[in-house]
Amino acid sequence: MERVPILKIGDVLLVSIQVDLQDQTVLALQEDLAERIVATGAHGVIIDITAVDIVDSFIGRMFATIAAMSRLMDAETVVVGMRPAVAITLVELGLSLGGVRTALDLEEGMRLLGAEPPTAALPTAVPATPGRDGAGAAVADAP
């Protein structure tokens, strides 16, 4: 059975589902996530389902269960990256995912939780200054 990785970003746990969701995988995720919330004291959980093509009623209910469980442990849940076909399927199954907030992407999900999305430390360009020959020389600040 494959396990879904749970990453810690600040005080938010990121669950990025990149495998086919089988019932046992989702049950294991629920247990693993509960343990990680307690161990880390996370206040937010983001479940990234960008790679999920198909959901069934069990998996849909498990998302709602995970959100309820997280809320009991003082962590809010946001599902990000939901494809239109997945949203349509959830509606057709009559699953509202009560208590689960949604966002289009990870950045928006982090904002909903009041967390800053991680940014890479990129060098910033300094405006070019003309040299003796009139050509500009650009320099970058090191991080």
- Between the alpha carbon of residue 137 and those of residues 69, 123, 141, the distances in Å are 57, 16, 13
Positive or negative CA dihedral for 34, 35, 38, 39?
Answer: negative
pLDDT for 25 equals 87
The C-alpha R_g of the chain, in whole angstroms, comes to 20
- pLDDT tens, per residue, the chain with 143 residues: 688 999 999 999 999 998 878 888 888 999 999 999 999 999 999 999 998 888 888 888 888 888 899 999 999 999 999 999 999 998 998 887 777 899 999 999 999 998 776 554 444 444 454 545 454 444 444 44
The pair of structure tokens assigned to 72 is 């009991």
pLDDT for 140 equals 45
Angle value at C-alpha 114, between 110 and 115, nearest 5 degrees: 55
Question: Please, are residues 74 and 105 in contact by the beta-carbon 8 Å criterion?
Answer: no
pLDDT for 129 equals 47
pLDDT for 119 equals 57
Question: Please, are residues 67 and 77 in contact by the beta-carbon 8 Å criterion?
Answer: yes
Separation of alpha carbons 7 and 97, rounded Å: 23
Three-state DSSP at 44 gives strand
pTM of the model: 0.77
